[in-house]
Structure 1
């Protein structure tokens, strides 16, 4: 545990941890599409980096189920990130605001480890790396 933030710093303590938001849809005739969910993911920023999580390459997978439920697999730049416990919930909350989404489950993973190569070209340019 981090002595200052009181959060796990060992990747094994957070691997597979999940955050959820939203609830099952009763009307599945208007399921959200990938573009809307990705737009919501682009609204969540790492507080230490002025680039959204999607363009940073922290979202490894996103799948919208036939019933509107959304599963997101994500990582962070480092297991020692001081917001490791908060970011998955922020992602779940953001995605759950998209009309046509049901229950949103965000799972945190450390494999494969994040590298700067996972960033979009726009992210690299914003950070002066491109």
Structure 2
């Protein structure tokens, strides 16, 4: 696992009611849609550049990515959750993830949608994440 990058700016309290962020979608245009769409493996590697700001593990290995789709035209759809409904980054994390994935060649646009169903549990983590967190 690589060293996690820091999210710029202060972290503030998250929403009191998780329903406020259920279905929240961030959309970001890609930078290079002239290349072929990225592979699923390339998308996963890019998602591994995104870290939970409170844990030393990337969001993919934490099991926060529930769905990952890419169309033939380079449109990427991601459904994700966070470790807790009151997470202070619940409103900004989808945009951060979308901006990161949009950097890949062949991405025309990225949509990241937040969900709380099913609720995240530690059983969703990869073996690497479990080891990094001492489980």
TM-score, normalisation: structure 1: 0.89
Contact preservation (8 Å) 1:55, 1:119: yes
Residue 22 of structure 2 is aligned to residue 15 of structure 1: yes
Q: How big is the shift at 1:11?
A: 1.2
Per-residue deviation, residues 53-82 of structure 1 (Å, max 9, x unmatched): 000000001000111000000000011101
Alignment-derived partner of residue 65 in structure 1 = 71
CA distance in 2, matches of 1:78, 1:57: 13
Q: How big is the shift at 1:31?
A: 1.2
Contact preservation (8 Å) 1:24, 1:69: no
Per-residue deviation, residues 60-112 of structure 1 (Å, max 9, x unmatched): 01000111000000000011101111111111011000101111000000000
How many residues get paired?
Answer: 125
Residue 55 of structure 2 is aligned to residue 49 of structure 1: yes
TM-score, normalisation: structure 2: 0.86
Q: How big is the shift at 1:126?
A: 0.5
Higher mean C-alpha deviation, range 43-52 or range 6-15 = 6-15
Per-residue deviation, residues 6-47 of structure 1 (Å, max 9, x unmatched): 6522111110001111249764x6111111111110000011
List 4+ stretches of structure 1 deviating above 4 A.
Answer: 23-26
Q: How big is the shift at 1:5?
A: 3.2
Flag structure 1 segments of 5+ consecutive residues without an equivalent. Answer: none
Contact preservation (8 Å) 2:32, 2:105: no
